């Protein structure tokens, strides 16, 4: 679980005029302080990730990547030491091709030296992008090479790939192979701070769920991209929907927001321990969309101890709350509530709904673009 800055701070390198919102050492020191002191670390957000635009425009005389010396005067190692002193871990960004997406030096031809550099600095996660790569072969070989190079350093570094994302337009990714090399992988376009963007990610996921759901599990995860909760584009209901469905999808929880300026409501949602527990469930099975009807979607996810998570989404963007009735026999291949179960609503507000028998049904009200998230547990 991670805080990253890409979507919120973009590639702002103008620290003269915008010292508080440029990609800089100062920004990451401030966020690390807040993550450690404001409850984020305690609920499991432990990685602080630097995205693109941290680098100097050129490698040093020995061919090593270097941080921009004006914006990161202490370099990455000093920042990593500070982050570690707060009980957190540091993530960094590089690219498999000749340049990063923002035009900084890429790792092509430098995979081994870059892996060693990151390990020397004390980096704990690498996000490896796929821009400026001239062929699918170079892309695949580069992702594999960097994976092996990271392993050879002897340092435990989470490896976040964009390999399938850059293959999809032309080839169908081999997820079994990708899983061998990567810890999580992006499949679809970058998230934006908008409901339309969240909808398009969910639509892509459901139309490809037969391919991608079975490959997810401990050690390797589908990454639907960042949580944009706490920014400007989503309503309260839409933020609930993103949090609930990212939990159902077993998604890496990567926030892109400004923790210095976040509403109490958004903070409470992002720190909701019950929802995080579903996301981080040790069984490690990704959930899926069970059905879609009349602008409602029902998603479900098997959890450990024979429990299930169920999300019901109202996709209608007009009118008021709508009621939806679900028969419990239809959930979890008929097993979720067999012979009976205790149901707790977790979102939009937590409340115990009580004891239900297998043959009963459950009626609920769901706001437009909102979601009701339930946890079903064996009663007996």
Residue numbers annotated as active site: 129, 190
- CA 214 to chain CA centroid, Å, is 18
Answer for the pair 250, 287: CB distance below 8 angstroms, yes or no.
Answer: yes
CA–CA gap between residue 245 and residue 83 (Å, rounded): 30
Q: Where are the alpha helices (DSSP H) in the chain?
A: 6-9, 25-37, 40-43, 75-85, 111-121, 136-152, 163-167, 175-181, 195-207, 209-212, 236-248, 264-270, 273-279
Segment (H or E) for 55 = none
Reference 180, options 211, 215, 214; nearest CA is 215
Both tokens assigned to 373: 């998230």
Reference 65, options 26, 101, 104; nearest CA is 104
Answer for the pair 91, 4: CB distance below 8 angstroms, yes or no.
Answer: yes
Both tokens assigned to 355: 């004891």
CA–CA gap between residue 237 and residue 142 (Å, rounded): 41
């Amino acid at each position: 679980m991670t805080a990253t800055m890409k979507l919120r701070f973009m590639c702002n390198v103008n620290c003269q005029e915008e010292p508080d919102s440029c990609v800089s050492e100062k920004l990451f020191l401030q966020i690390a302080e807040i993550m450690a002191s404001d409850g984020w670390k305690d609920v499991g957000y432990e990685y602080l990730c630097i995205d693109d635009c941290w680098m100097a425009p050129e490698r040093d005389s020995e061919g090593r990547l270097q941080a921009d010396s004006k914006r990161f005067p202490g370099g990455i190692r000093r920042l990593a030491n500070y982050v570690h002193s707060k009980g957190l871990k540091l993530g960094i960004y590089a690219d498999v091709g000749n340049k990063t997406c923002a035009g900084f030096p890429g790792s092509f031809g430098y995979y081994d030296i870059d892996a060693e550099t990151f390990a020397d600095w004390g980096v704990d996660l690498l996000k490896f992008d796929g821009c400026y790569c001239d062929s699918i072969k170079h892309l695949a070989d580069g992702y594999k090479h960097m994976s092996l190079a990271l392993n050879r350093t002897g340092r435990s570094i989470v490896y976040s790939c964009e390999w399938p994302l850059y293959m999809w337009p032309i080839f169908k990714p081999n997820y079994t192979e990708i899983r061998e090399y990567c810890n999580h992988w992006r499949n679809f376009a970058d998230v934006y701070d908008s409901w339309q963007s969240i909808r398009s990610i969910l639509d892509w996921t459901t139309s490809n769920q037969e391919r991608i759901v079975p490959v997810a599990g401990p050690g390797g995860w589908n990454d639907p991209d960042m949580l944009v909760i706490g920014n400007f584009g989503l309503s309260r209901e839409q933020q609930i929907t993103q949090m609930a469905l990212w939990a159902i999808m077993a998604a890496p929880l990567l926030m892109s927001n400004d923790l210095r300026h976040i509403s109490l409501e958004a903070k409470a949602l992002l720190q909701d321990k019950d929802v995080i527990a579903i996301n981080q469930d040790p069984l490690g099975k990704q959930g899926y969309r069970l059905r879609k009807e009349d602008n409602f979607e029902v998603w479900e996810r098997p959890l450990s101890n024979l429990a299930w998570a169920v999300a019901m989404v109202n996709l209608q963007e007009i009118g008021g709350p709508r009621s939806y009735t679900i028969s419990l026999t239809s959930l979890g291949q008929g097993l979720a509530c067999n012979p009976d179960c205790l149901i707790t609503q977790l979102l939009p507000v937590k409340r115990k709904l009580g004891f239900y028998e297998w043959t009963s049904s459950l009626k609920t009200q769901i706001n437009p673009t909102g979601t009701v998230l339930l946890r079903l547990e064996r009663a007996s």
